[in-house]
Structure 1
């Protein structure tokens, strides 16, 4: 996987394992005890969440969610999804919502002023600033993902140990 060259912010991977779901979950429990302070492993039904432990965690530290599915041939399919910390993700979505709301509001105000033959330069400037803010948020997310690539690789190595 080359995360730097992909456009998506949340990276995915698909793997298969000859082990059963029960065996994989049992190995997760053993690995959880072995790596307790450095990594946090949580299992629920056919889902596994891997994250960096509190001592090594940074604001850009990724999390890995793995969904386990039984295949017809008896193997197990692992669908992995890397993502940011849920608190950071929620903050980003909140900021995007605020920026979009400001952009739409000032767009409506600018259109109203334009249709009434009034000056709307201030509103257009605010809309331009919101576009720049969107660009900054995108850049910030890409930079954080790039900083988190070494920890993504660590989480991938944990998955290889499990399967």
Structure 2
């Protein structure tokens, strides 16, 4: 997987393994203590969350969510999703909603002023500024993801230890 060439901010992948769901869960339980200070492994039903341990965690550290499903042929399907730290993701989404709200409000104000034949240049300039904020948030997220690529590779290696 080459995340630096992907356009999406949250990377998804699909794999299959010959291990059963029970074997994968047992492997997770065995690895929890072995990798404890560097990585966190959490399991619930057919979901596994892998994250960087508290000692190595940065604000851009990724998480890996795995969903394991048994297949009819005895193999196991693994759906994976790399994502940012949930707190950071929530902050970015909150900022996006604020920017979108300001954009919509000033769009409505600009439309009202246009219909009343008043000057609406300030409102349009604030809307353009909000579009600039959207691009800034996007590029900040891309930069954080690129800074987290080495840790993504570490999580992928841990995943491979669990699945194969």
Q: Normalising by the residue count of structure 2, what TM-score does the alignment of the two structures yield?
A: 0.98
In the TM superposition, what is the alpha-carbon distance from 1:20 to its structure 2 partner? 0.7
- Stretches of structure 1 lacking an aligned partner (at least 5 in a row): none
Alignment partner, residue 137 of structure 1: 137
- Tell me, in whole angstroms, the C-alpha distance in 2 between the residues paired with 1:2 and 1:19: 25
- Tell me, in whole angstroms, the C-alpha distance in 2 between the residues paired with 1:13 and 1:109: 44
In the TM superposition, what is the alpha-carbon distance from 1:117 to its structure 2 partner? 0.6
In the TM superposition, what is the alpha-carbon distance from 1:2 to its structure 2 partner? 1.5
Q: State the Cα deviation string for residues 97-129 of structure 1 (Å, max 9, x = none).
A: 000000000000001001111000110111011
- Tell me, in whole angstroms, the C-alpha distance in 2 between the residues paired with 1:19 and 1:124: 58
Alignment partner, residue 15 of structure 1: 15
Superposed CA RMSD: 0.6
In the TM superposition, what is the alpha-carbon distance from 1:89 to its structure 2 partner? 0.6
In the TM superposition, what is the alpha-carbon distance from 1:7 to its structure 2 partner? 1.1
Would you identify which runs of 4 or more consecutive aligned residues in structure 1 move more than 2 Å?
none
Say which SS state the counterpart of residue 4 (structure 1) adopts. helix
In the TM superposition, what is the alpha-carbon distance from 1:4 to its structure 2 partner? 1.5
In the TM superposition, what is the alpha-carbon distance from 1:14 to its structure 2 partner? 1.0
- Tell me, in whole angstroms, the C-alpha distance in 2 between the residues paired with 1:122 and 1:12: 41
Counterpart mapping for 1:1-163 below 5 A: 1-163=1-163
Q: State the Cα deviation string for residues 66-119 of structure 1 (Å, max 9, x = none).
A: 000001100011110000011111111100000000000000000100111100
- Tell me, in whole angstroms, the C-alpha distance in 2 between the residues paired with 1:71 and 1:161: 21
- Tell me, in whole angstroms, the C-alpha distance in 2 between the residues paired with 1:32 and 1:13: 23
Q: State the Cα deviation string for residues 7-28 of structure 1 (Å, max 9, x = none).
A: 1110011111111111100100
